[in-house]
Structure 1
Amino acid sequence: MGRAAKSNDEYRAYLSTIMPLYSNFTVAVLQEIHDAETHTCIIHASSKAETEIGQYGNEYALILTFTEDGKQVTRFEEFVDSAYSERFVAALAKATSSQ
């Protein structure tokens, strides 16, 4: 989606601006695959929420890379249905800005 990487603090600040637009936001982990040899975990997840323009729902692939001892995450990558996200966020922004 062309977004720059964010620190934890930057991502928290970003979420604090958009999460009020969603209610009953839930995430379900559909599958996890752990690879001890490469120190990675891949997670297939989905989310859903209610908004003033209707139900939101998306799927995610999350890839976490860990230190060799597995105690810290060194990289976090998120893949999302970007076309859906862009359309939905634009429609939600339009609806909320017209109020």
Structure 2
Amino acid sequence: MTRTRAQLLHMAKSLFEVYNKWNLEDIMALRTSDCTHNVLPSSLGQAPLDNNAFRQFVENLMIGIPKGFNFTIDEKAPLVDESAGKVIIFARSKAETVAGPYANEYIFVITVDESGTKIARVDEFVDATIVKEFLPRFEAAMAKVA
């Protein structure tokens, strides 16, 4: 079954809507049972996350980012590949964290399953410089919270 452009864009936007709600069960409900999430570039050393690892990752983030993220997406420029079931989208985020304000830019490659109703894979390219500068402060603040 070919997923339509509208279905693919709907799923991509849904991902950011649930991230902005910051509810773990809503986030997980969008994912296929074998969904993987990759935080890139590989220089960050983040292993691919299956659903169990991703759930744990988000649960930990929720401690340090209790009010969640505010994602905005560039709706004028998504790239959609209907035959591959992929959407490539530019996004920005802001968040208040236990270590202070955080902001980043992203390119997300979102792969939607054959039904067009679940996300099968997320490749999240972050600004590695921002992550590398922020992560030590965040980890130190998280150690005080835990």
Q: Which residue of 2 aligns with 1:39?
A: 85
1:76 shift after superposition: 2.1
* Unpaired runs of at least 5, structure 2: 1-43
Whose strand proportion is higher, 1 or 2? 1
Coordinate RMSD, CA, aligned: 2.3
Please report the TM-score for the alignment, with normalisation by the length of structure 2.
0.56
Q: Which residue of 1 aligns with 2:71?
A: 27
1:72 shift after superposition: 4.7
| Larger RCO of the pair (alpha carbons < 8 Å, separation 6+) | 2
Q: Which residue of 2 aligns with 1:91?
A: 137
Total equivalences in the alignment: 99
| In structure 1, C-alpha distance between the alignment counterparts of 2:70 and 2:126, rounded to whole Å | 16
| In structure 2, C-alpha distance between the alignment counterparts of 1:6 and 1:66, rounded to whole Å | 17
Percent identical among aligned pairs is 30
- Closer/same/farther in 2, CA of residues 23 and 71 from structure 1, 3 Å limit: closer
- Closer/same/farther in 2, CA of residues 34 and 53 from structure 1, 3 Å limit: same
Q: Which residue of 2 aligns with 1:17?
A: 60
* Unpaired runs of at least 5, structure 1: none
Q: Which amino acid aligns with 1:46?
A: R
User: Match of 1:59, SS?
Assistant: strand
| In structure 1, C-alpha distance between the alignment counterparts of 2:99 and 2:118, rounded to whole Å | 39
1:68 shift after superposition: 5.3
Please report the TM-score for the alignment, with normalisation by the length of structure 1.
0.78
Whose helix proportion is higher, 1 or 2? 2
